[in-house]
Amino acid sequence: MVHIYYNRKMLLVLALLAATGIAACWSGRSRQVDFSADVKPILNKKCITCHGGVKAKGGFSVLFREEALAKTESGEPAIIPGDPDNSEMIRRLTLKDPEERMPYKHEPLSEDEIDILRRWVKQGAKWGDHWAYLPVKQTPAPDEDNTWIRNDVDRFVFEKLDAQDLEPAAEADPETLLRRVSLDLIGMYPPREVADQYLKNSDDKGYERLVDALLASTHFGEKWASMWMDLARYADTKGYESDGGRSIWRYRDWLIDAFNADKPYNVFLTEQIAGDLLPNATDAQYIATAFSRNSMTNDEGGTDNEEFRIAAVMDRVNTTWESVMGTTFSCVQCHSHPYDPFHHDEYYKFMAYFNNTRDNDIPGEYPVLREYNDSLKNELTQLISWIKEKGTAEQSERVRHFLKTLQPAFYATTADSLKNALPTNKNGPLNMRNQSHARLKHIQLDGIGQIVFMFYSNKPGGKIIFRKDHPLGEILGTYVVQPEGGWRYGIMGTAAATGIHDVYVTYQNPGDKTTDIMATFDWFGFLPELPAKGTPDYAAHEKTYQDLLNARPTSTPVMVENPVWMQRETHVFERGNRLTLGKKVTPAVPQSLGFAMPANAPKNRMGLAMWLTDKRNPLVSRTMVNRLWEQLFGMGIVESLEDLGTQGITPTHRELLDHLSWKFMHDDNWSIKKLLKEMVMSATYRQDSKLTDELKEKDPTNKWLARGPRVRLSAEQLRDQNLCISGLMSAKMHGPGVMPWQPDGIWLSPYNGARWRNSTGEDQYRRAVYTYWKRTAPYPSMISFDGVQRVLCTARRIRTNTPLQALTTLNDSAYIDMARHLASRMQQEGGKDVAGQIKKGYQLMLYKPIKEDKLKVFEDLYQQALKEFKPGSAKTKAMMGGQENATPAAAAMVVVANAMLNLDEVVVKN
C-alpha cells in the first residue's frame, strides 16, 4: 500500500508540474511583448543595419514606427499590426530560400526571436520608448531590511545581490577607506591632521567627519575639474597640424572654483552653454562659455575658415550631447540615427543654437574676454557711468561690451572684392598695398559715430579711408597713419549714416611708389561715438577709453552671440556635406525625448540651456549620476557612459539610477557634493575589495557590487598621489599651465618653434590638472596611463595594462625624482634602522603597517642594491640625481622607494 501511495503521489506531482509548465508556456506566449526589452534588441542586432537610419533597403525602415508601418517599394507595408500572417516582414523571416529569407546572407533568426516578433505584430506592433528617454520618476527604495544597509543606495544594491544569491563583503579597514575616499573625492592624500583625526576615531561619525572635510577641501575642485576637462576637450593649444598655443587656462580655473563652490549642476551647465547671455553677465560667466571654445581651430595656411568654423560648431553640438546627455548624436549629421529616435534634420535644428556666435576660426581666436586688473576695472566702471549719464544706456552698454570683448567686429578675413589686397596665407589678416580697397559686407551703420580697427603699418604718409557702398562712394571717415611698430588700434570719428550698407576700406599713400604691403588689418568695429563732445571732462574720458582699448589684459576665448544684422542662416547638410545645402531650419530640439521647450524660452543658447536643465529632461541628471558613480566605483551603472541609448550597455541597477537622478534634481537641488556624499557614505562603497573564488566565478567584473571598488588609479591620481607620498606636492592653485620634467625633443612645433621648458621651483611639483596640455604631444606619462588627447569630447577613459606603464613609473625621471624625495623622507622619519625606514615608507603610502614577508623582500632588495653602489661612483651619483656627496645607502634606499611606489596596492585603488 505504501508503494502504491508513493507512486500515486509522484504522478500527482508530475501532473502538477506538467500543468505548471503548460501554463508557463502559454503565459510566455500570451504575455504582452515589451518593445524596448524584447523587440528593439532583435531589430538592432539583426535588422537595422539594412533597414535603419543609414539604409532603408526595399523602402523599409524599423527605426521609427511611422516608417516601419509605411508602404515599402512594393507598394504594401511590411508590417500589418494585428496580422502577422499577412505581414511581409514575418513571412520573409520564416522562408527557407536563402535568396529571399531575411536577414539576407546572414544567420536566420532563432525560433524564439521569430516568435517574439510574431507576437509583437499580433499585439499591434506597438512601439516603446527606450528606458533612458522616459521621464525620471521618483523611485522608492526597496523595502530591504539587513544590518549591512546604511542608506537607500544599499537597499537597491542588496536587492540585486540577494537575487543573484550573493552576499556583500565586510567593511574595508579604516586605512583602506581613508586612502580610497581621499583619492576619490580630492584626487590626492588629505592633510596629515585630517588623516590622523580619522584614524584615531574611525567609527561612523569619524568617517562622516572625514568625508565632510574632503568635500570642503579646496582640492576637491581640482579633482573633479580634471574629470570635466576630458568632456570639455580642454587643452592649452588649438589643435590640428600647427597646434599653436591658446590662453584658456582661466576656464580650467573656473571649473575648479565651480566644483569647490558646489555650484548647482543646472547653473553649472547654464553658464557653460549660455553664460554670455545671462543678464549683466559677469567675467566668470563669460569665461564659463569657454566650454564651447575648447573646439580646435586651424591656423594652417590655405585652409578654408568657414569649413573649420562649421567643424567647430558641429563639435559643440556633439560635445553637448555626449557630455551632458550621454548620447551619440554625432552620426545624425549625416543621416537619421541608426539606432535611436533622432531624425537627420533635428541635428541641424539643434546646430542652429550654436551657429550664430562671433568666432570664425581665425588666428586671433576672437571673441575674447579681456579681464582688466583692479585699477582698470575701476576706470571702466567710471567711464561707463559717465557715458550712461551723458548719453544713453544703450550707448554705455555697447561701449562696455566692446571694451570687454572687442565685439561686434567685422573680421578682415571675411572681406571680399579685393583690389591690390590679399589675406595672409589665404585665411589670415588682410594685407593692403597702395591704391587698394576691400569690401566689408552688410554693416549696420545706425547709431555709429566711430570706427575702431586693429592694424599694423610702419609706412609714413598713408591714409585709410572708409567709404559707403562703393570704392569711390560717400566718405564715412579718414584716418591718417602714423608709422609705428607692432599691432595697434586705430580710432576715427565718422559721418552720420543709417541703414545696412557695404563699407569699403581703402588705402592711399601718394608719396610711396613701391608695391610693398602698406598696412595689415585684423578687424573693424563700428561703434557709437562717446557723448558730450566738447564738454570740459570729455578729453579725460576719451583718454580713459583709449587707455582701456590699448591695454593688454588677460584674454580668454569666449562665446558671444551675433547681433541681429550679422545672423547666419542654418541649413540641413545633405549627407553631412556642408557644400550641399538642404532646407533652411531654425533652432529646435528633438521631439523624441517627449517634452517641449520651457515656456518663453528664447530661440538661442539660453533657451537651449533652459531645455537641458529642465527637470523633465530624461538624460541630463541620469548622465551625471552615472558619471559620478563611475568615478567612484570604476564602472557606471550604465557601463557605456558615452551612450545611454539603445546600443548602450543595459544598466545593472536601473531603479537605483532613477532614484539618485530624481533625488539629485529635487531633494539635493542639483548639488554634486550631496550626491557624492550619499554614494561614499553607503555600505556598498565601504566594502572590502578582495576578490573571492565565488565572486571570481559569479561576478568577476563586480557588476553586482558584492565587493568594494578595485581599479587602477587615473593618470592624474597616480602622479598626485606620488607627489603627496614623497612630500613634494605644491599647494599652489590656479594660473597658466606648468611644464613638469619632460625630455627635450618630444615637442616638434615647426610653425612657431614652441618648446617645452621644464618648470622650476614648486611649479614642477604642481598637481597634474595644471600640466600644460598640447594636443599633438600630450604629457607622455599621462598618455601612458590612458590620459586622452582632448581632441574631441571623451566621456570615458578605457583602462589598459601595458608594459609602458611599468616602464614609466620605474624609469621616468619625474617618478625617479619623487622616489628620491620619498627615500629621503623615509630616512629622516624612519630612524636609523633600514627596516624602520621601509616601514615608514609603507605607512606613508598606505597608512598601515607592512607585513613581515613583504618587509623581508624590500630588505633583501636594499641589501642587493647596496652592493651595486660604491662611494663616489658614477652609478651612485646618477641614482641620486648628480649629488656630489651621494652615499650608497641613500642610493639603495631610492631603489627601494621606487619599487615600493610600484606596488600593486599603491598603483591600484583597493
- pLDDT digit string, tens, across residues 209-253: 999 999 999 999 999 999 999 999 999 999 998 999 999 999 999
Whether the pLDDT of residue 16 is over 70: the answer is: no
d(CA 720, CA 154): 31
d(CA 463, CA 490): 12
Whether the pLDDT of residue 3 is over 60: the answer is: no
| Distance from the first to the final alpha carbon of the chain | 64
Identify whether the C-beta of residue 741 lies closer than 8 Å to the C-beta of residue 758.
Answer: yes
Whether the pLDDT of residue 695 is over 50: the answer is: yes
pLDDT at 30: 58
Chain position carrying cell 592624500: 189
Mean of the pLDDT values across residues 617-627?
A: 98
Mean of the pLDDT values across residues 840-865?
A: 97
Identify whether the C-beta of residue 125 lies closer than 8 Å to the C-beta of residue 90.
Answer: no
Give Cα separations from 20 to 17, 115, 458 (angstroms): 5, 21, 97
pLDDT at 787: 96
| Torsion angles phi and psi, residue 287, rounded to 5 | -60, -35
Partners of 488 in the β-ladder: 455
Whether the pLDDT of residue 910 is over 80: the answer is: yes
Pairing label, strands 409-411, 368-371: unpaired
CA 245 to chain centre: 20
CB-based contacts of 516, cutoff 8 Å, min separation 6: 433, 459
d(CA 37, CA 21): 23
Share of the chain above pLDDT 90, in %: 81
pLDDT at 46: 85
d(CA 827, CA 657): 49
Question: DSSP per residue over 411-460, as a string?
Answer: EGGG-EEEEEEEEGGGTSPEEEEEEEEEEEEEEE-TT--EEEEEEE---T
**Radius of gyration over alpha carbons of the chain, in Å?**
33
More confident residue, 37 or 205: 205
Whether the pLDDT of residue 10 is over 80: the answer is: no
pLDDT at 475: 97
Mean of the pLDDT values across residues 159-177?
A: 97
pLDDT at 29: 52
Partners of 584 in the β-ladder: 571
The 3-class SS string of 574-620 reads HHHCCCCEEEEECCCCCCCCCCCCCCCCCCCHHHHHHHHCCCCCCCH
CA 876 to chain centre: 45
User: In one letter, which amino acid is 21?
Assistant: G
Kindly give the interhelix angle for 204-216 and 219-231, rounded to the nearest 10 degrees: 70
- How many other CB atoms are there within 10 angstroms of residue 26's CB atom? 10
Partners of 847 in the β-ladder: none
412-418 own/partner pairs: CB under 8 Å, 24+ apart: 412/438, 412/521, 412/522, 412/523, 412/524, 413/305, 413/360, 413/362, 414/305, 414/360, 414/441, 415/439, 415/440, 415/505, 416/441, 417/504
Whether the pLDDT of residue 111 is over 60: the answer is: yes
Whether the pLDDT of residue 1 is over 60: the answer is: no
pLDDT in tens, 275-313: 999 999 999 999 999 999 999 999 888 889 999 999 999
CB-based contacts of 523, cutoff 8 Å, min separation 6: 364, 366, 406, 409, 410, 411, 412, 453, 454
Whether the pLDDT of residue 841 is over 70: the answer is: yes
**Average per-residue pLDDT for the chain:** 93
The C-alpha cell of 823 is what?
627615500
Identify whether the C-beta of residue 838 lies closer than 8 Å to the C-beta of residue 896.
Answer: yes
d(CA 902, CA 679): 29
pLDDT at 6: 39
| Torsion angles phi and psi, residue 419, rounded to 5 | -130, 125
pLDDT at 53: 61
pLDDT at 2: 38
d(CA 846, CA 175): 7
Helix (H) and strand (E) counts for the chain?
A: 34, 15
Among residues 293, 307, 416, the alpha carbon closest in space to that of 365 is found at 293
Give Cα separations from 523 to 67, 366, 781 (angstroms): 50, 10, 41
DSSP-derived secondary structure letter, 561: B
| Torsion angles phi and psi, residue 433, rounded to 5 | -95, -175
pLDDT at 9: 43
d(CA 629, CA 638): 9
- How many other CB atoms are there within 10 angstroms of residue 860's CB atom? 10
Whether the pLDDT of residue 665 is over 80: the answer is: yes
- How many other CB atoms are there within 10 angstroms of residue 536's CB atom? 7
Among residues 93, 85, 75, the alpha carbon closest in space to that of 39 is found at 93
pLDDT in tens, 447-484: 999 999 999 999 999 999 999 999 999 999 999 999 88
d(CA 56, CA 62): 8
Among residues 660, 839, 707, 654, the alpha carbon closest in space to that of 180 is found at 707
The least confident of 158-162, 312-316, 658-662, 753-757 is 753-757
Element (H, E) at 845: helix 834-846
pLDDT at 8: 45
pLDDT at 5: 39
In sign, the C-alpha dihedral spanning 713, 717, 723, 727 is: negative
| Torsion angles phi and psi, residue 9, rounded to 5 | -65, -40
d(CA 541, CA 396): 13
Mean of the pLDDT values across residues 393-404?
A: 95
Share of the chain above pLDDT 70, in %: 96
Side-chain-side CA neighbours of 217 within 13 Å: the count stands at 25
6-20: b or e for each residue (b if 16 or more CB lie within 10 Å)?
eeeeeeeeeeeeeee
Chain position carrying cell 530640439: 589
Cis check for the bond before 408: say yes or no (omega within 30 of 0).
yes
Torsion of CA 900, 903, 909, 910, to 10 degrees: -110
The C-alpha cell of 288 is what?
564659463
